[in-house]
Structure formats: C-alpha cells, structure tokens
C-alpha cells in the first residue's frame, strides 16, 4: 500500500470510528491531513464521517490547488488557518460533539481557557483551548479568527458549533479532539457540584513535565 493510500484509509477509518461512537452525526464534521509532498487530503463537503470513501477525498497540491476528488468541506478556511500558522500541524479535525457544544453555551466559561482543569489529559493533549464567538457555518471569518491567534493555540472551540483541533498527525489530532469532548462531558456532568479541580500548582507541574504550550 502506498503512503498516500495508507493516509486515505487512515482518515476514513478514524472518521468512521468517531461517527460510530456518536462524536459527530449526520454529515457534520470535517477532517484533513498533510500529504507527504506537502499537499492536503480533505473530507468532501456534505459527506458523513461514517461513509467517507478513500478514493473520493479532496486532494490539494502543495500550492493549494484542488487536483482530484470531490469538492472539499466549506470550512476549508478553518483548516488552512491552522496549517498556515502552525508549522507542526499535520492534521486538523472539526466535530459537532454534543458535550463540548453544550459547554460552549454556558455563561461562566472562561473564553481564554475553555476547559476546566478536571484531569491531566486535557491539559497534556490540548493546552489552553480558546473559545471563539459564533460564526455562520462556512463563514471565512472563522479562519481569520484562528489566524488572529498567530499559531499560539492548537485547539479552538467555536461557540454553539463545535471544536477544531490541530495535531502533528491525524491520529494525534483525533486523540486530542476526543479528549476535548471527554473533558467537556465531565464538566457538564459535574456542573453545579463544586468538583475538586487540579490546583494551579498541579497544572504548572503538568505544563513543565510534558512541555505543554500554556503561557500564550
């Protein structure tokens, strides 16, 4: 199997896994990954994560020209914003995961640090997650908002919409966005219960030990 075909199969396999576990439904969500030659493979517009076809993924060359496959997701500006501002980005995933969307609607959420420090793993995999305002689906302003962060965040939460996460590769990006949803679920489950969160010393120890992007 060629490297290109392996990446295509991996994208579709991971997307279906997330769909099957209810992390995004219907034709929601989009996913992309860097190819070996600097291009991009992207999920097509209007497609379900549960039924992606490896041979029909949108393929862009290193200059951003669509060279094969179906038309890409209308939220390409989100993806290109991460690739253009984060040199380490090898993949980007966007979901409409229920608990993270619910948490984004809560009035007391910290806009600069969306996820409460409930477990070490959200901190280790995501760093600080920026809560962005609501945009109409497909609005290029979403990409501009990500560019405005100047590559300082690997993950953002689109209010009333869904999370977007960049990772070093497709597996890392998927693992990180799942951690974002898991932490959001814990936050909603314990809301109003005054849970014991990690202390600022605990957070700093994690940041130091695991070299987390944090003070940005």
Q: Please state, in angstroms and rounded to a whole number, the distance separating the CA atoms of residues 94 and 182.
A: 15
Residue in 75, 178, 179, 181 annotated catalytic: 75
Q: Are strands 40-42 and 30-34 parallel, antiparallel or unpaired?
A: antiparallel
Annotated catalytic residue 75: yes
213 is catalytic: no
Residue among 9, 108, 121, 171 flagged as catalytic: 121
Instruction: Give the count of beta carbons closer than 10 Å to the beta carbon of residue 32.
Output: 30
* Cα–Cα distance, 8 to 118 (Å, whole number): 35
Q: List, in order, residues 6 or more apart from 151 with CB less than 8 Å away.
A: 85, 86, 87
Residues recognised as catalytic: 75, 121
């Amino acid at each position: 199997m060629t490297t290109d075909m392996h990446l295509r199969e991996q994208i579709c396999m991971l997307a279906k896994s997330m769909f099957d576990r209810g992390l995004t439904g219907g034709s929601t969500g989009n996913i992309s990954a860097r190819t070996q030659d600097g291009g991009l493979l992207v999920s097509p517009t209007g497609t379900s994560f549960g039924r992606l076809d490896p041979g029909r993924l949108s393929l862009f060359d290193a200059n951003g020209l669509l060279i094969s496959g179906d038309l890409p997701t209308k939220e390409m500006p989100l993806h290109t914003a991460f690739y253009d501002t984060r040199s380490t980005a090898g993949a980007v995933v966007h979901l409409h995961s229920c608990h993270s969307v619910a948490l984004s609607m809560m009035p007391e959420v910290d806009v600069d640090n969306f996820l409460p420090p409930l477990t070490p793993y959200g901190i280790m995999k995501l760093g600080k997650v920026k809560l962005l305002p609501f945009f109409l689906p497909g609005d290029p302003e979403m990409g501009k908002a990500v560019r405005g962060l100047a590559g300082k965040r690997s993950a953002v939460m689109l209010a009333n919409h869904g999370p977007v996460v960049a990772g070093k590769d497709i597996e890392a990006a998927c693992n990180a966005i799942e951690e974002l949803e898991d932490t959001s679920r814990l936050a909603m489950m314990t809301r109003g219960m005054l849970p014991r969160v990690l202390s600022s010393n605990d957070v700093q120890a994690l940041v130091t030990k695991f070299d987390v992007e944090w003070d940005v």
